[in-house]
Structure 1
Amino acid sequence: MKLSNVLSLVNQVEKSKFINAIDRICNEAVKHDKKIAAQLDKLDGQIKNASSTDITQLFKIVLPYFEKSVREQLAMLGAQATLLTNILSRDGNCIARVTWVESLYTKEWGVINSRANELKSEIEAVDDGESFTDGKRLGIYYACLKEAYSNDEKINREAKITDDERGILNVLAKQLDVTADDQAGVEHLIDEIPKNGVQDALNELREIGLVFISRKLQTVYVPDEIVSLLHRLQGKDLADKHLLRILRTLSDAELSNILKNHRKKIRGVERKEKIVNIMKLGVPAAQLLQVDLYSEDTNVNDRKERLKSLIQDLDLDLDKLGTTLDERTALILDSLNSCAEREFNSLSATGFKELFAALQNHFPSLNAILKQEFELEEQEELDVEKLRALSITPYDILYMLTNDEVKTVVESMGIKKRGNLRLNILASFADATDKLIDNYGALARRDLATLKADNIEIAEADLGVKFEEVTKAIFEQLGLVVDEDLRRAINTSKDKADVLISLSEDDVIVGEAKTCKNGDFAKYSTTSRQVKAYANRCEQAGKRVAQVLIVAPTFSEDFVESAEMDTEVNISLLEADGLKKILDAYKARRNPKFSAKLFTKGGLLKADLIAKNI
């Protein structure tokens, strides 16, 4: 979830520590940073009274200073805080109940403690006369880490590992090929991680602005921007879910090469287990792409060609391929790190829901797989909105399935088997959305007979929800920003907006989609109460409602007159066939010019005129 949406979700007290951290940094940096000074001038220096949007914009500017401050403070907080940030920055853990975080911590502590005891035995069993064995390498790393930790005591200071020492130890670990789980185990032997006190550690992370904690919901929130920051501090160049995509794309021989290059067992190891073992190594993705997946005699040109084919296999939309191995690697990593929005937009809200429902139907254990891979609570209800909040895209879901499992899904769903099977699945659901858009008018009029004649099977009870979803899909195809994260943040059990369209950082259009079976839509008093409640929720979240847009098959004369005379909100009305006509005109133009401001004129909109001027 984006920072702006988290700020909209929590109350003033719950976001106070984050704002205080930003305030402290600004006070120190404003003297020599003109950008920060200019942004503070806009706010009259009153950060605590700023809107969520203003705070988000300020955070983008102060991020380098914030990152430096967090790096220093985490080093002082010690091993427990480090373990917690490792857990909270993993895929799927950015929104989690406090009790679940505690259970994940206990589980992780047990794994590290067990591995530490194994390493202790391995290090103690080393014979001085032995060659450069695994035990020898671990013994060297252990001795260096112990010296870095305890050398402060010689000058009567508290024992700890400074940020500078951590950097040197990371280089040493890389040169000795000490994997991430072994690094954690060795450090646990020297500076044992506390088993309890997770609540206190969470509060310490909140104090430095890294997490938000909702007291009412007892839930921890880590914004996407903070997750990216933590990955940089951990030296992690790619999220686990994206590294998994790369590994799923590699051949068995290439997976074996990676394990061989780190002296890991490959004989008799299944493909699935190979991937799991590689993920545990904690090796940067750049090293895997440039060195580890090749045999020793592979030249640079062959490595570059392999990355070129990998770009095609992953369907990365790149403007250029890069000329050097470093450039090509950087392009792959940058594309994967910034792909979430593009991947959410690859399917409409309807398409995503239908894909998820179909995968659950054809692959009953899908929920269990997602909960295991993303460390979600067993009782957690999984739906598309929850997945969106956790930044889990349709691509992420499909890459959680093994290649063999994807083949099974393709066969059972009757999808074409040539090319990239995961992309074929996505394309089939994009086509299904287009079919619903073609029948948009019939959907609005709840005309089941027409829908069935075009082989569209929808239960009558689901027509309203389906119309809402297809309306979003049309807005998305018009190039508008349908903000599902904001909608989720402002919705309550009582007030649930159908559509929110972001015009800018501050301005939104509140959309409402209404079906009507017989005659014109005429329920103005009920509808106006709904949209006014949604508008109030948006304003409470720091957004300005530029317009309310109501889409229905047709409107009664009384409805149109009431909307035009309403002085509390600006309301525009658009007939469903008119919206479809606008979309058709948009698609028919080579270089269409369309602005959401065309929906802000008020009253009953003239779709023919809008379509003509696109």
Structure 2
Amino acid sequence: MKLEKILDKLGSLEKNSFIKIIDHIISKNPKNAKEIEKILSSTDKGLKSVDSLNISNIFSLVSQEFTDHLKCEFQEANSQLDILIDIIIRDGNCLMKQDWFSRLYDTEVKNLKGKIKTLTTELESDKSELSESRKRDYRIYKACLSTAYTNDISNNRDAKITADELSIILTLSKQLGLSQEDIKLINYSILPIKKEQIQDVINNLKNIGVVFYSKKENMIYVADEMVRLLRKVRQKEVAEKFYRRTLKLLREPIINQIAKEHNIDRKLSATQKIEEIIKQGISFTDLLTYDIYKEGTNLTDKKKQLNEFCEKGLNIQNLKGSTLEDKIKSLIDHFDTVEKDEKVGISIDGFDKMLTELNTSLPKLNKELKEQFELQDEYVLNADYLLDYNIKPRDILDLITKPDLSKFIKENGIKQRGDDILNILDHYKDVENLYLENYANVGYRNLNLLKENGISVKESELGLKFEELTKIIFKGLGFNVDDKFKNQLNTSKDMIDILLNLGNNEVIIVECKTSKERGYNKFSTVSRQLKSYQNLALKNNLRIVKILLVSPEFSDDFVTDCEMDTEMNLSLLTATTLAKIFDAFKTSKYQEFPHVLFRDIVINEERIIKALTK
């Protein structure tokens, strides 16, 4: 669930710890202080009175400083932050009841103690399955960590690993090729795990700003943006679902090779080995740099193999970067962009239809999803529910075995030639709804995201498509989008995009502008165009109730120029705002949108949505 949505749900007391930390960071003059000041300048009462959207924007601007704040918390030897963060960043754990979190914490501690005991035995045994070189790596790391921790005690100070010691330890672990699980097991073999009371655990996480806790609902919330930040803190470069998607494309001998290298039981099934590789926290970069290739593969062949793997397996053409390192970073950036995007690849209606038919064909899937994503509700095959956990259609299909996918495809009349998962996604597309869900992406002319979300369109068609979608939205708001009257008015020189006929010779003129660059800033050009439309309407004895300019976003300079204009009754409407107003209107009591609400220079979505929901 997005940070903005969580903040909207909670009271001021429940947000207090998080706001305090952000406030403290702002007081220290962070890197993006000027951008933050622009947001805060609209209020005299400080951060507490800023709306949820802008708090979310400020969090994005201080993400580096917030990361540094968390790294300081990691130096607290008894914090157990690594254990707790590894629980809350797993796919499906961003929303949890307190008792569910308590159960996950108990299980994690119990499993860790068992694994520590096994590792200690392996290190001491002559008949261990661990290679001598691996034993040496573990012993080196353990000895260095022990020194870093115990040297404080010998100097009559509290045991603490300093920032300098921590950076050296992290560098050492990386050079030794240790997974996050290896590091955790060795850490807690030196510092025994002390199980804390669950309420103390939640309070600690809340006080450092990592989670929100609602006593009323007994619910823990972890924002999607926070999950991504915490993953970086734990040096996990991609979400588990993308790691799984990548591993499932590898041949079984390669999976076995990775399992052998990282001390994973080779007797497990291929699926179980994949899950163990993910749980181990093996670096995604290391996996694609070393682990997936045959011994002796040169750098040129590695780059070639990675390109082919991305093109044929992940359907990513022309992976950017000249070096192997650059190519891997490009893949990680790709997954990061996909995760941040709120769109789901198919329409919400299509997603629900797919889930219903999956449940009919594969009745065990509900249980499997619950277990895989550690979800606490009984029935989880619901689109809105899964999207709150940032679980999308592709993430579910990635979990289904090939025989079950084939069965589902045959039973539901889905195309059988080509890639099974892409065929299923294509089958459940609802093209109009899918375009509407990607309305802002069309406005931004973002071809890559549109393609990722299942839309194939030429760049030359995007301007017209944006106009068509804007018409659909205004029709959905109950307006008379009068193309016939518009065509009578238009001349070869003046071509109004959309005309909303209010009756009694009253109209609203709507102009649509797409923009690849962030922040539409061509006011002088567009104002001349709009004034000519205004003159055209006035010549035909029409009263212009409002002129609306719809674009993905507007620069500060554009907004200022608009505010200074005295000749037009012009309002600026971003694509995202219009889409949110449309969503709110669908569940409102109104049959036709009350156009008097369009009265700001920059249309305020919160005020309008509040008015619609009264």
| TM-score (norm. length: structure 1) | 0.70
Q: Whole-Å Cα distance in 1 between the matches of residues 59 and 236 of structure 2?
A: 22
Q: Does 1:362 align with 2:361?
A: yes
The percent of aligned pairs where both chains have the same amino acid is: 29
In structure 2, the partner of 1:306 is: 305
What do the CA deviations read for 1:197-241 (whole angstroms, capped 9, x no partner)?
A: 221121111112111001110111111111111111101111111
Q: Deviations over 1:415-460 (max 9, x none)?
A: 222221101111111169889x9xxxxxxxxxxxxxxxxxxxxxxx
Task: Report the equivalent of 1:63.
Answer: 63
Is 1:508 equivalent to 2:581 in the alignment? yes
**Residues 1:316 and 1:505: Cα distance change in structure 2 (over 3 Å):** farther
**2:95–2:389: 8 Å Cα contact kept in structure 1?**
yes
Query: Residues 343 and 394 of structure 1 are in contact (CA less than 8 Å); yes or no, is this contact kept in structure 2?
Result: no
Where structure 1 has 5 or more consecutive residues not aligned to the other structure, the ranges are 438-470, 483-500, 515-525, 536-541, 549-567, 572-614
1:248-287 to 2 correspondences below 5 Å: 248-262=248-262, 264=264, 266=266, 269-287=268-286
1:106 deviates by 0.2
Inter-partner Cα distance in structure 1 for 2:160 and 2:173: 18
* 1:544 has 2:584 as partner: no
Give the deviation of 1:124 after TM superposition. Answer: 3.5
Q: Deviations over 1:217-271 (max 9, x none)?
A: 01111111111111111011111111000011112232233234446554x5532
1:509, distance to aligned residue in structure 2 (A):
3.8
Pairing of 1:304-383 with structure 2 (within 5 A): 304-316=303-315, 321-340=320-339, 344-377=343-376, 379=378, 381-383=380-382
Q: Deviations over 1:471-499 (max 9, x none)?
A: 99x98xx99999xxxxxxxxxxxxxxxxx
Structure 2 CA distance, aligned partners of 1:372 and 1:246?
Answer: 20
8 Å Cα contact 1:507/1:546 also seen in 2: no
SS in 2 for 1:400: coil
| Letter paired with 2:8 | S
Residues 302-327 of structure 1: CA deviation (Å, up to 9, x unaligned): 22222222222354556753322122
Matches within 5 A, 1:142-541: 142-262=142-262, 264=264, 266=266, 269-316=268-315, 321-340=320-339, 344-377=343-376, 379=378, 381-430=380-429, 503-504=576-577, 508-513=581-586, 527-528=589-590
Are the counterparts in 2 of residues 98 and 218 from structure 1 also a CA contact under 8 Å?
Answer: yes
State how far apart, in whole Å, the 2-side matches of 1:31 and 1:269 are: 48
On the 8 A contact 1:509/1:546 being kept in 2, the answer is no
Q: Separation in 1 of the partners of 2:97 and 2:428?
A: 33
Give the whole-Å Cα distance in 1 for the aligned partners of 2:43 and 2:318: 38
**Runs of 5+ consecutive residues of structure 2 not aligned to the other structure:** 437-471, 477-511, 515-549, 553-573, 598-603
Change beyond 3 A, Cα 1:368–1:183: same
Q: Cα RMSD over matched residues? A: 3.7
Structure 2: distance between partners of 1:13 and 1:529? 38
Q: Distance in 2 between matches of 1:293 and 1:50?
A: 48
**Aligned residues of 2:149 and 2:161 also touching (Cα < 8 A):** yes
2: distance between equivalents of 1:394 and 1:224? 17
Contact in 2 for aligned 1:30/1:36 (Cα 8 Å)? no
Q: Does the residue aligned with 2:396 lie in a helix, a strand or coil?
A: helix
Deviations 1:157-213 (A, max 9, x none): 211233433332233333334333232222222212222322112111111211100
Secondary structure of the structure 2 residue equivalent to 1:100: helix
* 1:3 CA displacement: 0.9
Query: Structure 1 pair 481/375, CA: closer, same or farther in 2 (3 Å)?
Result: farther
The change in CA–CA distance for 1:503 and 1:175 in structure 2 (over 3 A counts) is closer
Shift in CA distance, 313/355, structure 1 to aligned 2, threshold 3 Å: farther
Q: Is the Cα–Cα contact under 8 Å of residues 102 and 198 in structure 2 kept in the other structure?
A: yes
Change (3 A) 1:174 1:569: closer
In terms of mean alpha carbon deviation, does 278-287 or 367-376 score higher? 278-287
> How many residues align structurally?
477
- Aligned 8 A contact 1:214 1:220 in 2: yes
Q: Is the 8 A contact 2:347 2:433 kept in 1?
A: no
Relative to 1, partners in 2 of residues 1:326 and 1:355: Cα closer, same or farther, differing over 3 Å? Answer: same
Q: Is the 8 A contact 1:352 1:394 kept in 2?
A: yes
Q: 1:235 to 1:413 in 2, by over 3 A?
A: same
Q: Tell me by how many angstroms 1:148 deviates.
A: 1.5
Asked whether the 8 Å contact 2:142–2:186 carries over to 1, the reply is yes
Q: Is the 8 A contact 1:503 1:509 kept in 2?
A: no
Hey, what's the Cα distance between the residues in 1 that align with 2:113 and 2:394? Answer: 35
Q: Match for 1:36: what amino acid?
A: I
Query: Residues of 1 paired with 2:359 and 2:81: CA distance?
Result: 37
Kindly indicate whether structure 1 or structure 2 has the higher relative contact order, using CA contacts under 8 Å at least 6 residues apart. 1
* Contact kept? 1:95, 1:219, Cα under 8 Å: yes
SS at match of 2:13: coil
Amino acid at match of 1:503: T
Does residue 121 (structure 1) correspond to residue 121 (structure 2)? The answer is yes
Distance 1:295 1:384 in 2: 41
Deviation at 1:133, TM superposition (A): 4.9
Distance 2:14 2:358 in 1: 38
Q: Which range moves more in the overlay, 325-334 or 302-311?
A: 302-311
Residue aligning to 2:51? 51
1:186 and 1:356 map into 2 onto residues whose CA distance is 42
Q: TM-score, normalised by structure 2?
A: 0.70
Question: Which amino acid letter does the alignment assign opposite residue 321 of structure 1?
Answer: K
CA contact (8 A) 2:319 2:331 kept: no
Q: Is the CA contact 1:81–1:201 (under 8 Å) kept in the aligned structure 2?
A: no
Once the two structures are TM-superposed, the CA of residue 75 in structure 1 deviates from its matched residue by: 2.5
